[in-house]
Structure 1
Amino acid sequence: MKTNKLYIIALSILTLGSCQKDFLDSEPITKGTEQNFYRTKADAARAIVGCYDGLQTVWAAGIALPVAAEIMSDNAFGGTGNSDGFGYQMIDEFDKQRSPADVTVFGSNWSAYYRAVYRCNVLLSKISQINWEGDEAARKVTESEARFLRAYLYFDMVRLWGNIPLLTTPSAENVPQSNADEVYKQIAEDLKFAADNLPETPYTAEWAKTNGGRITKWAAEALIGRVFLYYTGYYGKTDLAGVITKAQAVAYLENAITKSGHGLLTDYTTLWPAASVEKYAGEDNKETVFAIKYTYTSNYNGNTDGNHWMVMTGMREQASYPYGNGWGGATVNPKLWNTFSNTDTRRNASIISIADEGINFSNKPKQREYTGYYNKKYSPMINKDGTSMVELYTTSGNFMISQYQDYVSIRYSDVLLMAAELGSANAQEYFNQVRQRAYGNNYSEIAATKDNILKERRLEFVGEGLRYWDLLRLGVNTAAAAIAETVTLENGGVATPKTISATKIIETKGLQQIPTDQINLSNNVLKQNQGW
Structure 2
Amino acid sequence: MKNYKIYITAFIIAMVTLTACSDDFIDVPSRNPNSDDFFKTEQDYQDVLIGVYDLLQASFWNVMVGEIASDNTLAGGDPDNIDGPAMQDIDNMVHNDVNEQLRDIWRWMYAGLNRANYMLEFRDNIDFDTKNDMIGQALFLRAYFTFELAKWFGPLPLLVENGRIKNKRMQFGEQFTISRTATIADTYTLIEADLIEAIGLLNTTQDLEYKVTKGAAQSLLGKVYLYHATFDAAKYTDAATVLDQVISDGNYTLASNFGDIFEHPGENAAGSIFEVQYTDVEGAGFDCLQCSEGNVAVGFSGVREYVGPTFDSGYGFNTPTAEAASIFTTGDLRKDATIFDAEAIATSYQPSRGETKLYNRKYLPRKGDLGLGDNNLTNPNNYRAIRYADVLLMAAEANVQKSAPDVTKAKGYLDLVRDRAFGNTTNRIDATLENILQERRLELMGEGHRFFDLVRTGNADGTIDGFTPNKNELFPIPLIELELAGAVERWGQNPGY
TM range (shorter): 0.7 to 0.9
> Match of 1:528?
493
Compute the displacement of 1:344 (Å). Answer: 0.3
> Match of 1:27?
7
> Match of 1:176?
179
Residues 33-87 of structure 1 deviation map (CA, whole Å, 9 limit, x = unaligned):
224411222211222111111222344xxxx011111111110111111312532
Cα distance between partner residues in 1 of 2:439 and 2:323: 15
Trace 1:34-433 onto structure 2 (pairs within 5 A). Answer: 34-59=35-60, 64-82=61-79, 83=81, 84-96=83-95, 102-129=98-125, 131-133=126-128, 135=129, 138-167=130-159, 168=166, 169-172=168-171, 173-174=174-175, 175-179=178-182, 180-201=184-205, 210-233=207-230, 236-239=231-234, 245-273=235-263, 281-296=265-280, 297-300=282-285, 303-355=291-343, 357-364=344-351, 367-382=352-367, 389-390=368-369, 393-394=370-371, 396=372, 398-423=374-399, 426-433=409-416
Residue number among 495, 510, 517 corresponding to 2:473 in the alignment: 510
Matched position secondary structure for 1:416: helix
Matched position secondary structure for 1:508: coil
Residues 375 and 463 in structure 1, CA contact (< 8 A), matched pair in contact too? yes
Query: For residue 517 of structure 1, what is the amino acid of its counterpart?
Result: I
Cα distance between partner residues in 1 of 2:293 and 2:53: 11
Compute the displacement of 1:376 (Å). Answer: 0.2
Change in CA separation of 1:530 and 1:360 when aligned onto 2, cut-off 3 Å = farther
Compute the displacement of 1:445 (Å). Answer: 2.0
Cα distance between partner residues in 2 of 1:247 and 1:46: 38
Residues 58 and 116 in structure 1, CA contact (< 8 A), matched pair in contact too? no
Which consecutive aligned stretches of 4+ in structure 1 deviate over 6 angstroms post-superposition? none
Query: For residue 105 of structure 2, what is the amino acid of its counterpart?
Result: N
Matched position secondary structure for 1:482: coil
Cα distance between partner residues in 2 of 1:422 and 1:318: 42
Change in CA separation of 1:437 and 1:109 when aligned onto 2, cut-off 3 Å = same
Residues 67-109 of structure 1 deviation map (CA, whole Å, 9 limit, x = unaligned):
111111110111111312532221012214xxx7954442222
Query: For residue 360 of structure 2, what is the amino acid of its counterpart?
Result: N
Compute the displacement of 1:531 (Å). Answer: 2.6
Cα distance between partner residues in 2 of 1:196 and 1:420: 25
Query: For residue 34 of structure 1, what is the amino acid of its counterpart?
Result: S
Query: For residue 484 of structure 2, what is the amino acid of its counterpart?
Result: L
Query: For residue 90 of structure 2, what is the amino acid of its counterpart?
Result: I
Cα distance between partner residues in 2 of 1:461 and 1:398: 29
Residues 218 and 260 in structure 1, CA contact (< 8 A), matched pair in contact too? no
Query: For residue 48 of structure 2, what is the amino acid of its counterpart?
Result: A
Matched position secondary structure for 1:90: helix
Query: For residue 483 of structure 2, what is the amino acid of its counterpart?
Result: N
Query: For residue 53 of structure 1, what is the amino acid of its counterpart?
Result: D
Percent identity over the alignment?
29
Compute the displacement of 1:127 (Å). Answer: 0.5
Cα distance between partner residues in 2 of 1:373 and 1:116: 34
Residues 343 and 442 in structure 1, CA contact (< 8 A), matched pair in contact too? no
Query: For residue 9 of structure 2, what is the amino acid of its counterpart?
Result: I
Matched position secondary structure for 1:315: coil
Change in CA separation of 1:21 and 1:88 when aligned onto 2, cut-off 3 Å = closer
Matched position secondary structure for 1:309: helix
Residues 283 and 373 in structure 2, CA contact (< 8 A), matched pair in contact too? no
Compute the displacement of 1:298 (Å). Answer: 3.0
Query: For residue 377 of structure 1, what is the amino acid of its counterpart?
Result: K
Compute the displacement of 1:480 (Å). Answer: 1.6
Compute the displacement of 1:158 (Å). Answer: 0.8
Matched position secondary structure for 2:318: coil
Cα distance between partner residues in 2 of 1:140 and 1:295: 28
Residue number among 464, 481, 496 corresponding to 2:462 in the alignment: 481
Trace 1:487-502 onto structure 2 (pairs within 5 A). Answer: 501-502=466-467
Residues 164-217 of structure 1 deviation map (CA, whole Å, 9 limit, x = unaligned):
21133202311232222332111010011112222333xxxxx6xx42121101
Change in CA separation of 1:397 and 1:39 when aligned onto 2, cut-off 3 Å = closer
TM-score by length of 2: 0.85
Residues 438-481 of structure 1 deviation map (CA, whole Å, 9 limit, x = unaligned):
11147322111111111111100010011111111111xx3121
Residues 271 and 387 in structure 2, CA contact (< 8 A), matched pair in contact too? yes
Cα distance between partner residues in 2 of 1:35 and 1:508: 42
Cα distance between partner residues in 2 of 1:358 and 1:125: 53
Change in CA separation of 1:102 and 1:369 when aligned onto 2, cut-off 3 Å = farther
Query: For residue 124 of structure 2, what is the amino acid of its counterpart?
Result: S
Compute the displacement of 1:397 (Å). Answer: 7.1
Residues 288 and 408 in structure 1, CA contact (< 8 A), matched pair in contact too? yes
Cα distance between partner residues in 1 of 2:51 and 2:373: 27
Change in CA separation of 1:104 and 1:27 when aligned onto 2, cut-off 3 Å = closer
Cα distance between partner residues in 2 of 1:103 and 1:465: 19
Residues 267-320 of structure 1 deviation map (CA, whole Å, 9 limit, x = unaligned):
1001122xxxxxx54311001100111122233486432212221111123242
Query: For residue 220 of structure 2, what is the amino acid of its counterpart?
Result: L
Residues 369-425 of structure 1 deviation map (CA, whole Å, 9 limit, x = unaligned):
11111100000122xxxxxx13xx34x474222212110000011111111111155
Cα distance between partner residues in 1 of 2:116 and 2:327: 42
Residues 98 and 480 in structure 2, CA contact (< 8 A), matched pair in contact too? no
Matched position secondary structure for 1:447: coil
Cα distance between partner residues in 1 of 2:365 and 2:373: 11
Compute the displacement of 1:361 (Å). Answer: 4.3
Cα distance between partner residues in 2 of 1:438 and 1:104: 38
Cα distance between partner residues in 2 of 1:88 and 1:159: 18
Change in CA separation of 1:190 and 1:331 when aligned onto 2, cut-off 3 Å = same
Change in CA separation of 1:315 and 1:26 when aligned onto 2, cut-off 3 Å = closer
Trace 1:4-15 onto structure 2 (pairs within 5 A). Answer: none
Cα distance between partner residues in 2 of 1:34 and 1:102: 33
**Paired residues, number:** 449
